[in-house]
A = this chain, B = another copy of it.
Amino acid sequence: MVESWSFLDTVESNFRPLVVIELAKGTKEETIEWFAKRIVDKKADGGAQLLIKPLVTENGHENIYLVGASHLRLLLGAETVGLVKECNDNSMRTFTYSSRKTFKDFADDNHNFLTMAECQYIIKHELDNLRAKNEKMIPGYPQAKLYPGKSIVRRLLTSGILVQIFPLHDREELKKLRHSWYGRVRVGYQPLDDIRCYFGETIALYFGFLEYFTFALIPMAVIGIPYYVFAWEDYDKYVMFATFNLLWSTVILEVWKRICAILTYRWGTLLMKRQFEEPRPGFHGVLGINPVTGREEPVYSSIKRQLRIYLVSLPFVCLCLYFSLYVMMIYFDLEQWALDYHEENESNFSSLMLYVPSIIYAVVIEVMNRIYRYAAEFLTSWENHRLESSYQNHLILKVLVFNFLNCFASLFYIAFVLFDMKLLRQSLATLLITSQILNQFAESLLPYWLQKRHNKRMKKRTCSQKTDIDLSLAEQVNMEKEMGTYLGTFDDYLELFLQFGYVSLFSCVYPLAAVFAVLNNITEIYSDALKMCRVYKRPFAEPTANIGVWQLAFETMSVISVVTNCMLIGMSPQVDALFPDSKMDLVLTVAFVEHLLLAIKFIMAFVIPDKPRDIQMKLAKLEFESLEALKQQ
Q: Which residues of A contact B (CB under 8 A)?
A: 79, 94, 96, 98-99, 273, 275-276, 291-293, 302, 563, 583-584, 587-588, 591, 595, 613, 617, 620-621, 623-627, 629-633
Distance between Cα atoms of A630 and B632 in the complex (Å) = 10
Residues of B within 8 A of A587 (CB): 584, 587-588, 591
| A94-B630 contact in complex given A276-B624, A584-B587, A620-B275, C-beta closer than 8 Å | yes
Distance between Cα atoms of A595 and B96 in the complex (Å) = 51
| A621-B591 contact in complex given A302-B613, A627-B273, A633-B99, C-beta closer than 8 Å | no
New A-B pairs, 6, CB < 8 Å, besides A98-B632, A276-B620, A626-B626: A99-B631, A292-B624, A293-B624, A584-B584, A625-B630, A632-B633
Distance between Cα atoms of A595 and B416 in the complex (Å) = 15
| A617-B292 contact in complex given A273-B627, A563-B595, A626-B627, C-beta closer than 8 Å | yes
| A617-B291 contact in complex given A583-B583, A627-B626, A633-B99, C-beta closer than 8 Å | yes
Residues of B within 8 A of A627 (CB): 94, 273, 276, 626
Q: Which residue of B lies closest to A590 (CB)?
A: B591
Option from B94, B588, B613 in Cβ contact (under 8 Å) with A631: B94
Decide: A626 and B624 in contact? CB cutoff 8 A.
Answer: no
Decide: B291 and A621 in contact? CB cutoff 8 A.
Answer: yes
Chain A contact residues: helix, strand, loop or mixed: helix
Residues of B within 8 A of A584 (CB): 583-584, 587
Option from B273, B591, B633 in Cβ contact (under 8 Å) with A591: B591
Residues of B within 8 A of A94 (CB): 627, 630-631
A581 to nearest B CB, angstroms? 12
A315 to nearest B CB, angstroms? 15
Residues of B within 8 A of A96 (CB): 631
Interface centre among A293, A302, A588, A631 (most CB of B within 10 A): A631
Q: Which residue of B lies closest to A293 (CB)?
A: B624
Q: Which residue of B lies closest to A598 (CB)?
A: B598
A401 to nearest B CB, angstroms? 12
A398 to nearest B CB, angstroms? 15
Residues of B within 8 A of A620 (CB): 275-276, 292
Distance between Cα atoms of A629 and B79 in the complex (Å) = 14
Residues of B within 8 A of A591 (CB): 587, 591
The 5 closest A-B pairs by CB, nearest first: A587-B587, A626-B630, A292-B620, A629-B629, A629-B630
Distance between Cα atoms of A591 and B623 in the complex (Å) = 46
Residues of B within 8 A of A624 (CB): 273, 276, 292-293
Residues of B within 8 A of A273 (CB): 623-624, 627
A467 to nearest B CB, angstroms? 46
Residues of B within 8 A of A595 (CB): 563
Residues of B within 8 A of A632 (CB): 98, 629, 633
A443 to nearest B CB, angstroms? 32
Decide: A621 and B588 in contact? CB cutoff 8 A.
Answer: no
Q: Which residue of B lies closest to A591 (CB)?
A: B591
Distance between Cα atoms of A464 and B630 in the complex (Å) = 55
Distance between Cα atoms of A79 and B628 in the complex (Å) = 11
Residues of B within 8 A of A630 (CB): 94, 625-626, 629-630
A633 to nearest B CB, angstroms? 5
Distance between Cα atoms of A595 and B564 in the complex (Å) = 12
Distance between Cα atoms of A633 and B631 in the complex (Å) = 12
Distance between Cα atoms of A402 and B349 in the complex (Å) = 71
Distance between Cα atoms of A623 and B627 in the complex (Å) = 9
Distance between Cα atoms of A223 and B79 in the complex (Å) = 59
Residues of B within 8 A of A583 (CB): 583-584
Distance between Cα atoms of A79 and B276 in the complex (Å) = 28
Interface centre among A94, A623, A625, A630 (most CB of B within 10 A): A630
A286 to nearest B CB, angstroms? 18
A629 to nearest B CB, angstroms? 5
Distance between Cα atoms of A79 and B98 in the complex (Å) = 29
Distance between Cα atoms of A621 and B293 in the complex (Å) = 6
Residues of B within 8 A of A588 (CB): 587
Q: Which residue of B lies closest to A633 (CB)?
A: B629
Distance between Cα atoms of A265 and B190 in the complex (Å) = 47
Distance between Cα atoms of A620 and B291 in the complex (Å) = 9
A134 to nearest B CB, angstroms? 28
A39 to nearest B CB, angstroms? 26
Interface centre among A293, A588, A626 (most CB of B within 10 A): A626
Distance between Cα atoms of A630 and B276 in the complex (Å) = 15
Query: 23 A-B Cβ contacts within 8 A?
Result: A94-B627, A98-B631, A99-B631, A99-B633, A273-B627, A275-B623, A276-B620, A276-B627, A291-B617, A291-B621, A292-B617, A292-B621, A292-B624, A293-B621, A302-B613, A563-B595, A584-B584, A587-B591, A591-B591, A625-B630, A626-B626, A626-B627, A629-B629
A78 to nearest B CB, angstroms? 12
Distance between Cα atoms of A293 and B628 in the complex (Å) = 10
A12 to nearest B CB, angstroms? 27
Residues of B within 8 A of A79 (CB): 631
A90 to nearest B CB, angstroms? 13
Distance between Cα atoms of A276 and B630 in the complex (Å) = 15
A57 to nearest B CB, angstroms? 43
Q: Which residue of B lies closest to A614 (CB)?
A: B291
Q: Which residue of B lies closest to A275 (CB)?
A: B620
A440 to nearest B CB, angstroms? 34
